[in-house]
């Protein structure tokens, strides 16, 4: 049986300020105070999973046990068709130790060029997100969301984070970094995973 979240505070198990901001905004209507793992000084666990779901669970459990509070972790990434699904779970690592996404986007463009994926029809991709809500006793609930689209280059826009400046969602003309955050929240991979989380674990809490 799905466990309901009945508290008023949880940890966002991330040190990525952009991701923490986005998740905090998504949680705002539900009367939940969010604090980041980074602000609590919690160490980032090694992400040894080979799927988004596995890595989200690793991060959520580490934060929940470290803070003795429920914790919500996101593991997400960009999966590019012409690259066999890469960078996938290694999306952040393409930016090196500093997780420099300008570097990661250049690397992605180079990889697409080597794959001779020049035309829009050869640049299909999707963003995937797994959200895991964990409790200190080890119980977890996991939800997955996905949004299809294509890769564009050069990057466009200064909103969002990560690979957002290179990704145009299906039936749109602007990148995730060009659209209003509220518009992104309505259609993104994270928003779709979040909808499942809210329906299952936060029912009746929306103000």
Residues with catalytic roles: 75
Distance CA 78, CA 150 (A): 10
Pairing between β-strand 71-80 and β-strand 9-12 as defined by DSSP bridges: parallel
Helix segments in 36-188, DSSP class H: 52-67, 101-114, 181-187
- In the chain, the DSSP E strands lie at 9-12, 33-36, 71-80, 124-134, 140-151, 167-169
Distance CA 162, CA 30 (A): 26
Of 179, 180, 176, the closest CA to residue 147 belongs to 176
């Amino acid at each position: 049986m799905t466990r309901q979240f009945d508290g008023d505070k949880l940890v966002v198990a991330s040190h990525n300020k952009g991701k923490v901001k986005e998740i905090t905004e998504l949680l705002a209507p539900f009367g939940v105070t969010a604090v980041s793992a980074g602000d609590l000084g919690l160490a980032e666990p090694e992400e040894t999973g080979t799927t988004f779901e596995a890595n989200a669970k690793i991060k959520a459990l580490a934060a929940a046990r470290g803070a003795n509070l429920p914790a919500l972790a996101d593991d997400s990434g960009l999966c590019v068709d012409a690259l066999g699904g890469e960078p996938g779970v290694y999306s952040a690592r393409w930016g090196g130790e500093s997780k420099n996404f300008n570097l990661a986007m250049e690397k992605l463009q180079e990889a697409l060029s080597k794959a001779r994926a020049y035309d829009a029809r050869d640049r299909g991709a999707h963003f995937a997100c797994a959200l895991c809500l964990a409790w200190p006793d080890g119980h977890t609930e996991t939800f997955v969301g996905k949004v299809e689209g294509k890769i564009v280059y050069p990057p466009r826009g200064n909103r969002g984070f990560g690979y957002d400046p290179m990704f145009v969602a299906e039936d749109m003309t602007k990148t995730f970094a060009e659209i209003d955050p509220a518009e992104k929240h309505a259609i993104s991979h994270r928003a779709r995973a979040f909808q499942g989380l809210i329906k299952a674990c936060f029912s009746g809490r929306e103000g």
